[in-house]
Amino acid sequence: MSSSSASTEEKIVKHLEEKYKEEFELESKKEGSEIFANMYGGDKALVYPEGKPELVFLAGEDRDNKEEFYDTYLLSRWSNELDAKFKEQIESEFNDDIDYKFLLNIADKKYDASMKDLSFTEYVNEKNSDALVTLKIAIKVSEKPDLEKYSTAILNVYKALDALQVDMYGVSVGFVEETDILPDYMRTANYNNIPWTNLDAKVYGTIVFDNTRDIQTPEDVLDRYKDLEG
C-alpha cells in the first residue's frame, strides 16, 4: 500500500468515526480474493464497525471534491437486518445448501447518519420507500439443477418481499457448483458488483426477476431461467 492510499484510508476511517460516533476497521486485503481487487481504489476503502466484519461496506473520498466523503454503512446495516429477519423463512423453503444476502440500492441523498438507529421498516415507513431490494441466493448444486425442485421456493421468498413495501424488489438466484462457491462473495455482495456471469466459479444458470415482471406461478419462475452452460 502506498503512503498516499494509506493516508486516504486513514482519512476515510477518521471521517466515519466522527460521523457515526463508532470505531471502524479496514477490511484486510489479504482476506479478499483477487476478483475484488478492482474495488480497492486509492480513493475508497472497505470498512466495517469494529468486530463486525459481516457489516462490511464501501466508503470513499469524492473524486471531484476531496473534502467530501460517501459511504454505504446504513445500507449494510439494513441489509444485515433483512438477512436476519427472513432467515427462518428462507432456510425453511430451501432444503439444499444455500448462501443468501439482501442487496439494497437507495440513492445516497435519501439517507444520512441521523437515520442510523432506524430499522429498515421504520426508514421505509417514515422516510423513503424509493428503494430496490434484491434477495441474492446462491444455491449450491453438484450438477445441472432440477428447476422444478426450486421454483416454488423461489416464488414464495419473492412474494414475501412484498411486505417490505418498497417500490422495487426482486430475486437473483445463481445455481453454483457446490465445490466452487467463494466464501466471501455473498458477504461482500452489496459492493462487489460481480454478476453471476463473471463469478470465478462454475455457474449452471440463473433466475433473475423483479416486481416489474408478472410473476404469479412456479411456471413463471421457470420461464426466467437462463442456462449459462450453453
Q: Long-range contact list for 56-60, CB < 8 A, 24+ apart?
A: 56/27, 56/187, 56/188, 56/191, 57/190, 57/191, 58/190, 58/191, 59/12, 59/15, 59/16, 60/12
Question: What pLDDT was estimated at residue 28?
Answer: 67
Question: What one-character DSSP code corresponds to residue 54?
Answer: G
**How many other C-beta atoms are found inside a 10 Å radius of the C-beta of residue 162?**
10
Model pLDDT, residue 7: 79
pLDDT at 23: 98
Q: Determine if residue 51 is left, alpha or beta; phi over 0 gives left, psi from -120 to 50 gives alpha, anything else beta.
A: left
Query: What whole-number distance in Å separates Cα of residue 45 and Cα of residue 52?
Result: 16
Got the DSSP string for 145-200? --GGGTHHHHHHHHHHGGGG--SEEEEEEEEEETTT--TTTTTTHHHH---GGG-S
Give the three-state DSSP class for 105.
strand
pLDDT along the chain (230 residues), means of 10: 65 96 82 44 84 94 80 98 98 90 96 97 98 97 95 98 98 95 82 88 97 98 92
Residue 71 has phi, psi (to 5 degrees) of -160, 160
Can you read off the three cell numbers belonging to residue 89? 423463512
Q: What are phi and psi of 40, to 5 degrees?
A: -95, 65
- Model pTM above 0.95: no
Q: Residue 12: which of 51, 44, 41, 37 has the closest Cα? A: 44
